[in-house]
Amino acid sequence: MKKTGGEIIWECLKREGVKHIFGYPGGAILPAYDALCKYPEIHHVLVRHEQGAAHMADGYARAGGGVGVAIATSGPGATNLVTGIATAMMDSSPIVCITGQVGSKLIGYDAFQETDITGITLPITKHNYLITRAEDLGPAMREAFWLAKSGRPGPVLIDVTKDAQQASCEFDWDEAEPGHRNCCLAASSAAPQYSDALELINHAKRPVILAGHGILLSGAMHEVRAFAERAQVPVAMTLLGIGSFPASHPLNLGMMGMHGEAWVNTAIQEADLLLALGMRFDDRVTGNLKTYAPMAKKIHIEIDQAEVNKNVKIDVALIGDLRQVLGDLLPRVHAGNREPWLSRIQELKGDSAVRDIQNLPDDGHLYAAHVVNDLWRETGGNAVVVTDVGQHQMWEAQYYKHDQPRTLITSGGLGTMGFALPAAIGAKFARPDAEVWVVAGDGGFQMTMAELATIVQERLDIKVAIINNGYLGMVRQWQEFFYERRYKATPLYSPDFVKLAAAFDLPGAAVRQRAEVVPTIRKAREHRGTYVINFCVEQEDSVFPMVPAGADLHAMIRRPSPLVETAQDL
Amino acid sequence: MTLVVQVENKPGVLNRVASLFRRRGFNIESLTVGHTEKPGVSRMTIVVDTDEAGALRIEANLYKLVHVQRVENVTSTPSVFRDLAMIKVAATPETRAEIMQLTHVFRARIVDVNSESLVIETTGAEDKIDGLVEILRGYGILEMARTGRVAMTRGPRPEASANASGQDDSLEDESVSYSV
Ligand SMILES: Cc1ncc(C[n+]2csc(CCOP(=O)(O)OP(=O)(O)O)c2C)c(N)n1
Ligand SMILES: [Mg+2]
């Protein structure tokens, strides 16, 4: 079948099962857009900034488990994707980005809107392609999809010259099948490392599972739960691991790391075995490596061998797909009784377990933690929550209890402000029946708020909670703790977000009192369509506990009193 | 550490490999690339200043590049290491004979002669070449070009040691098991 390069792009997307793509047109990608007229089954979402397109593709992938697709023109269109691609790379999110490129004859001549986007994205993609001939497009597209989701997932970019989009060639889907490259090795649960791992697990007195994003990516939730229950091992989660193990499970400890619960970090420091599942010992979770979990043997189950022994010296590593490796281990794990260890953890929780902030008296202040906790109760914990980056992100992680996988979508590795609103749009397309909430700061929301227009144009139903503290709060917190309260460049003017919503023809409300929180959340939920809530919260509130960057994990700055949530008492 | 890396000869592959070293903070001391006996496959010999753990990290990261087929750390494998140098030395009628004699001792060759200079070509292990360079320095080295190290393990090709994934045993740390 003869097809133009432009048609091949859509033909491949259609066959990959792609229904929605996020993009923005321009000269160098016009032939492809023109060919899209012949593919009405593919829905193109016009974004307001290409960064949004990449975040939408990312949100789509994270919420639905498929591959998200973004498309942009050459030059500025392509460079605007960069932050979104880097975000997806750091968080192993499978997206495919397609960019137009100037004609192949013009490459290297600084033609209008020429940018070396394959060069620029080299370190932030799993792989990328510069396609100058229509013939090469089919195989590249197929391989790109395969690469994006195989092994450790990640972003792949395909840069297609204008002439390659215009030229015609024979296209055969089957022939374009990628010759699968080295990525997957033969299983060998008989390997001695399996016995070593089992030996450590079965003899551990104080084990802790460190649950990471890999569990969600591998779909190993069931195996992890079965494993934890059988061996009676408590589970600590990374930020991106939230949802991989039910928050309401008795073995759940909560989040570890910089803003993790004190008892979680203490348990890690006291453990005699860490079982790291699909996580990479990021500096935000380990703190000072020299003093990290000093008594613990470490078992690492991980698909990316480059992560093994990268930050933390590992005793036994099992490289492979988590679901399979755990499945192999499971029958050989002894049913455990770790009563002393579990009661020790219970003891650690002590009064810090008074996280039931609902019962705190209303002192006339509105705290973000209350807002998030009320949101959790009102939505029954069933919403897909997409956060931005900052204090509100940490409060979400602490106070919204996620029982289901893929219900917290957040930029972890890169910490990209501006992620929430566009990622939520992608999530809504992936899961149209889910209740999707954005939880964003006043700073980050303003970075990509133009995507409200996309929401309106697409008639989406996304609830937006802006946690408005009048500051770039997380940075302000650092200034408070480490720079003697010199609040340089962190106080933040914001427009009236309710009026802003009105300008997009969207309803909204501002909330200043604690008593208004629940009624307003209910009103937003009853409204069919997008609703914007401006929660004007306590301005100088801080996230506790906090392990200062690079400090020992057990050296946490604690909430001055477990019953007090605010920096007032600091 | 000396790594021998087989890569698909695709545009930009050298850039991808070099970029990886830069991005991960490793300093390349020398890098040579050339064709191999297989069409479409190039071979790089990379000398990098790092320790065993660093080399393992580099290897694991190299395998993440789509175009990398095989990585071998030959640092402690019995291997032949060679470097080629061309050295242009100032030579007067008085010193020429002496230089030629030294060249002979080092089993190097003279490939160009003129009234003021000589060009000496030599291949060998780097320390041998370093020795020659030291000796010649006294006469005045006008120009020098060295290829950097190329390496090959001794004995038949270690094809068998490459498992299904194309990964060779040298990556296999005792404590690491590979599955699916
Ligand atoms: C694009 C980007 N720029 C800068 C930062 C650094 N940064 C991290 S958190 C933060 C403050 C975020 O402020 P806001 O969105 O109001 O959220 P809050 O912390 O107040 O909840 C900043 C500036 C970042 N993470 N991303
Ligand atoms: Mg703020």
- Quick one: pLDDT band at residue A570, thresholds 50, 70, 90? very low
Which of the four pLDDT bands, split at 50, 70 and 90, describes residue B3? very high
Report yes or no on whether pTM surpasses 0.80: yes
pLDDT of res. A364: 85
Q: For chain B, which domains are there?
A: 2-77 (3.30.70.260), 80-150 (3.30.70.1150)
Instruction: Give the residue extent of every domain in chain A.
Output: 2-170, 192-349, 355-536
Residue B106 pLDDT exceeds 80: yes
Place domain A2-170 in its CATH homologous superfamily.
Answer: Thiamin diphosphate (ThDP)-binding fold, Pyr/PP domains (3.40.50.970)
Per-residue pLDDT of A125-157, as tens digits, reads: 999 999 999 999 999 999 999 999 999 999 999
Using 50, 70 and 90 to split pLDDT, how confident is the model at B162? very low
Span B152-179, average pLDDT: 57
pLDDT at A349: 85
DSSP state of B160: G
Strands A436-441 and A462-468: parallel
The DSSP bridge partners found for residue A476 are none
Alpha-carbon gap, residue A98 to A160, rounded angstroms:
7
Give per-residue pLDDT as tens, A362-404: 788 899 999 999 999 999 999 999 999 999 999 999 999 999 9
Following DSSP, what letter does each residue of B56-117 receive, concatenated? HHHHHHHTTSTTEEEEEE-TTS-EEEEEEEEEEEE--HHHHHHHHHHHHHTT-EEEEE-SSE
pLDDT grade, residue B116 (50/70/90)?
Answer: very high
Of the residues A16, A19, A113, A523, only one is catalytic, namely A113
Q: Measured between alpha carbons, how far is A57 from A71 in angstroms, rounded to an integer?
A: 10
Q: A355-536: CATH homologous superfamily?
A: Thiamin diphosphate (ThDP)-binding fold, Pyr/PP domains (3.40.50.970)
Asked if A408 and A392 count as a contact pair (C-beta separation under 8 A), the reply is no
**How much of chain A exceeds pLDDT 70, in percent?**
95
Segment of A346-360, A494-508, A544-558 carrying the highest mean pLDDT: A494-508
Q: Is A366 exposed, middle or buried (0-12, 13-18, 19+ CB in 10 A)?
A: buried
Instruction: Tell me the CATH architecture of domain A192-349.
Output: 3-Layer(aba) Sandwich (3.40)
Ligand 2 midpoint to CA A470 (Å): 5
- ipTM (interface predicted TM): 0.88
Q: What is the pLDDT of residues A245-288, one digit of tens each?
A: 999 999 999 999 999 999 999 999 999 999 999 999 999 999 99
Residue A125: which residues within 8 A CB-CB, separation 6 or more? A85, A89, A154, A155, A156, A157
DSSP state for residue A557 in the 8-state scheme: B
Pairs of residues, one from chain A and one from chain B, whose beta carbons lie less than 8 Å apart? 97
In this prediction, residue B180 has a pLDDT band, given cuts at 50, 70 and 90, of very low
Which residue matches tokens 């802006």? A466
Q: Is B111 in CB contact (< 8 Å) with chain A?
A: no
Mean pLDDT of B51-80: 94
pLDDT tens digit sequence for A413-429: 999 999 999 999 999 99
- B53 and A315 in contact by Cβ < 8 A? no
Q: Which helix (H) or strand (E) holds B48?
A: strand B41-48
Residues with CB under 5 A from ligand 2 (ion): A 441-443, 469, 473
Question: Is the predicted pLDDT of residue A187 greater than 90, yes or no?
Answer: no
CA of A394 to the centre of ligand 2 (A): 12
Strand pairing partners for B146?
Answer: B85
Residues 140-159 of B with CB under 8 A from A: none
**Strand bridging mode A436-441 / B150-153:** unpaired
Residues 6+ apart with CB under 8 A from A386: A59, A409, A410, A419, A420, A421, A423, A424, A427, A436, A437, A438, A439
